[in-house]
Amino acid sequence: MVSGLVERPFTLTYDELLALPRKTVVCDIHCVTTWSRLDNTFEGVPVQALLERAGLKPGAKFCLVVAEQGFTTNLPLSDLNRPENLIALKWAGEWLTPEHGWPARLLVPHLYFWKSAKWVRGFELLDEDLPGFWEQNGYHMRGDPWTEERYGGRGLTQHEINKFRNASKRHGVGS
């Protein structure tokens, strides 16, 4: 699903996603807990192709990535709309396992790996930056490993979390 501030919102079945052109990306991944894994090979559908298909409206500046079980993560559009980002289907030539995000996970290799949401379901393009699950719990809003953007300060209060959930509902996120 690609929705929100787009000209042509759409939903794909898994078979339709599998039928789209794919590319391979070799990248390093970095975890917020300080481990890294070098020279990973991912295969998947380029995120830019999905964004182009949807046609971004001028007001689209941020994305709330929606995944299974209500998980979300936020990204500035400038971090999402990059050639190396994928809806990853394979790692090291093998289909992803459920533990690692099968049937599909977002790959945003230039940010900490929590931004590469497992079990991704869609993108909601927004004009404001809504914090995702980990960001509501004290993780940094962006997550650049090179500047060590691990934590953004205090976690949010329940009142603040409810405010953001209500904003997400107004935008139709997760529906």
The model's pLDDT over 73-102, given as tens digits with 9 standing for 90+, comes to: 999 999 999 999 999 999 999 999 999 999
Percent of the chain whose pLDDT exceeds 90? 69
> So what's the pLDDT on residue 137?
84
Confidence category of residue 169, pLDDT binned at 50, 70, 90 = low
Overall average pLDDT of the 34-52 stretch: 95
> Which range, of 47-56, 66-75, 95-104, 150-159, averages the lowest pLDDT?
150-159
Q: For residue 55, is pLDDT > 80?
A: yes
For the chain, give the number of residues.
175
Q: Compute the distance between CA of residue 103 and CA of residue 16 in angstroms, rounded to an integer.
A: 13
Q: Rounded to whole angstroms, how far apart are CA atoms 66 and 15?
A: 19
CA separation for the pair 96, 163 (Å, rounded): 35
pLDDT of residue 33: 85
pLDDT for the residue 126: 96
Q: What is the pLDDT of residues 112-136, one digit of tens each?
A: 899 999 999 999 999 999 999 988 8
Q: CATH homologous superfamily for 2-171? A: Oxidoreductase, molybdopterin-binding domain (3.90.420.10)
According to the model, what pLDDT value does residue 147 have? 86
Task: Choose among 155, 168, 147, 125: nearest CA to 32.
Answer: 147
Domain definitions of the chain by residue range? 2-171
Which residues are CB-contacts of 36 (< 8 A; sequence separation ≥ 6)? 28, 29, 30, 145
Average pLDDT over the chain reads: 90
Alpha-carbon gap, residue 87 to 42, rounded angstroms: 9
Average pLDDT over residues 154-165: 63
Tell me the pLDDT band of 138, cut-offs 50, 70 and 90.
confident
> Which helix (DSSP H) or strand (DSSP E) does residue 66 occupy?
strand 62-67
Cβ count near 66 (within 10 Å): 23
- The mean pLDDT of 58-62, rounded to a whole number, is 97
Output the pLDDT for position 152.
76
Beta bridge mates, 171: none
The answer to whether the beta carbons of residues 74 and 141 sit under 8 Å apart is yes
